[in-house]
């Protein structure tokens, strides 16, 4: 069997890849082949598909060229994983400090201090302020480009594709994907040591603690069209008040990524 797994970064592609691979006999796992060009390099996929029991993961980059339809023909099973964009933007914000040569230490320390402030006083600083401080932007145009690109490609997928939500993966709602694959995937997964940095909370809905009413006004107008298309409740923007935020999954996580590059 040859399986192709696709999704935006920070949507659970790695966990899904290893859950499936560790449920197969002698799998050949290929992790983000050809990098940014991974969904365009059909020759690389052809070479890989000469092997048996192949599981391939690629990150979808909306700005990069892709040959999704042609590459998909090489695989028996194709899975696209999606995630609530509110959780994804939060996760991507923290992870961007990993192995990023464009990020200077003074910029990192500046944003890190803001995150620490947010941890101690969640309502005193919006997540959008952190986002702007990190991205050096004044709007959410990049998020719009990401999800516009995602929507265009999701609409092109035929019935041979299986779309799974990150939230179902975390909740181990595996019945439908098991039926699609023709075998049961493992409930638990052991990530290789070099990929354990990826894991942060292994939960979802954390945006409810990190967002403020100001964030809701910013992100609602951007994400609502995509939430609806992806099957999320666009009316549910309920926040959860917290006295403090967990530093292990925020500032400590950032330091671990940045200083262990």
- Is 175 in the same domain as 106? no
- Pairwise pLDDT comparison (143 vs 56), residue with the higher score: 56
- Tell me: the pLDDT tens digits for 161-182? 999 999 999 999 999 999 999 9
Strands ordered across the beta sheet of 54-59 = 28-31, 54-59, 2-7, 77-82, 161-165
Do 104 and 12 fall into the same domain? no
Instruction: For residue 150, name the pLDDT band (cuts at 50, 70, 90).
Output: very high
Higher pLDDT, 99 or 51: 51
Does position 196 have pLDDT exceeding 80, yes or no? no
Do residue 14 and residue 117 come from a single domain?
no
Mean pLDDT of 140-160: 93
The whole domain housing 137 covers 85-143+199-259
Q: Look at the block and give the residue holding tokens 């940014």.
A: 36
CA 220, CA 50: separation in Å to the nearest integer?
A: 45
pTM for the model: 0.92
The CA distance from 45 to 72, in Å, is 9
Of these ranges, 50-59, 125-134, 141-150, 250-259, the one predicted with the greatest mean pLDDT is: 50-59
Closest to 187 in 3D by CA, of 177, 198, 202, 172: 172
End-of-domain residue from the set 132, 162, 190: 190
Q: Which residue has the higher pLDDT, 196 or 231?
A: 231
Instruction: Give 189's pLDDT tier (boundaries 50, 70, 90).
Output: confident
Distance between CA atoms of residues 135 and 139, nearest Å: 10
Q: 102-137, pLDDT tens digit by residue?
A: 778 898 999 999 999 999 999 999 999 999 888 766
Query: Quick check: 183 and 258 in contact, CB under 8 A?
Result: no
Q: Are residues 35 and 60 in the same domain?
A: yes
Domain identity same for 160 and 183: yes
**Dihedral angle of Cα 80, 86, 88, 90, to the nearest 10 degrees:** 180
Domain end (from 190, 215, 250): 190
Q: What is the pLDDT of residue 199?
A: 56
pLDDT band at 73, cuts 50/70/90?
Answer: very high
Label residue 7 by pLDDT band (50, 70, 90): very high
| Start-to-end Cα distance in the chain | 36
């Amino acid at each position: 069997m040859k399986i192709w797994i696709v999704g935006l970064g920070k949507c659970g592609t790695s966990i899904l890849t290893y859950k499936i691979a560790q449920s197969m006999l002698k799998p050949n796992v290929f992790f983000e082949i050809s990098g940014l060009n991974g969904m365009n390099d059909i020759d690389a996929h052809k070479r890989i598909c000469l092997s048996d029991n192949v599981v391939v993961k690629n990150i979808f980059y909306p700005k990069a060229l892709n040959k999704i339809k042609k590459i998909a023909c090489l695989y028996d099973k194709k899975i696209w994983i999606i995630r609530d964009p509110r959780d994804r933007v939060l996760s991507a914000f923290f992870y961007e400090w990993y192995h990023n040569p464009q990020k200077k230490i003074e910029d990192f320390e500046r944003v890190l201090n803001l995150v620490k402030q947010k941890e101690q006083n969640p309502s005193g600083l919006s997540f959008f302020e952190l986002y702007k401080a990190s991205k050096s932007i004044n709007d959410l145009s990049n998020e719009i480009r990401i999800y516009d690109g995602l929507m265009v490609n999701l609409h092109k997928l035929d019935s041979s594709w299986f779309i799974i939500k990150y939230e179902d993966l975390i909740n181990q709602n595996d019945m439908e994907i098991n039926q699609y694959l023709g075998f049961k995937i493992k409930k638990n997964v052991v990530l290789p040591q070099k990929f354990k940095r990826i894991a942060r909370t292994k939960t979802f809905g954390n945006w409810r603690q990190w967002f403020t009413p100001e964030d809701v006004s910013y992100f609602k107008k951007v994400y609502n069209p995509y939430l609806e298309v992806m099957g999320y409740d666009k009316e549910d923007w309920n926040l959860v008040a917290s006295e403090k935020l967990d530093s292990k999954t925020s500032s400590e996580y950032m330091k671990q990524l940045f200083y262990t590059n």
